[in-house]
Amino acid sequence: MKQTTERLIPLLRQELSIIKNLVMQKEIIRQFQILYFGARFQNRTWATTYWGGVRVLKCPLDLWVYQEIINELKPDVIIETGTSRGGSALYLASICDFIGKGRVITIDLEVPFDKKTGRPVQLPKHDRITYIIGSSTSQKTVEKVKSLIKRGEKVL
């Protein structure tokens, strides 16, 4: 019995160490999520991300991944839903400039209003951006988007 116990103790310690590490990893992930996503409300990381002077309501890390995907796939058309102030559409159009091809079709229900002026926000102008106002799920909008895409174009 003593030999069995002596052999089991190191195994149990090893298992306990593994469990502690897993718990620690989960806690680290939880704290990271609180700090990173909570930062939106504390230091407003997402709300203070700009591209070409226009606010981009996207995670900066996502933007990095977007440019990698666009560079690899080299799409002819990128469809974005949720234009807001047009910052991410401008970013995507700029990446299309970098690769020398592509355009952005961006859809939103409405143009947002500037709280200070009470006027519609001036969306960024770029030759590669087409703005569509409407519901991205309405048949009318879907047909409009389809009409802007040529047969054989690669769509992202």
Domain match, 36 and 53 both: no
In a domain, 126, yes or no: yes
152 falls within a domain: no
- Count how many domains the chain has: 2
Note the pLDDT of residue 42.
59
CB crowding 130-148: b at 16 or more within 10 Å, else e: bbbeeebeeeebeebbeee
Q: Which pLDDT score is estimated for 122?
A: 93
Q: Find out whether 67 and 92 touch, Cβ atoms under 8 Å.
A: no
pTM for the structure as a whole: 0.74
The string of pLDDT tens digits covering residues 46-72 is: 678 899 999 998 888 899 999 999 999
81 and 39 in a common domain:
no
Spatial distance between the Cα atoms of 21 and 25, rounded to a whole number of angstroms: 6
Q: Which domain holds residue 29?
A: 2-43
CA dihedral 55, 60, 65, 69 (to 10 degrees): 10
6 occurs within a structural domain: yes
Query: Is 153 within a domain?
Result: no
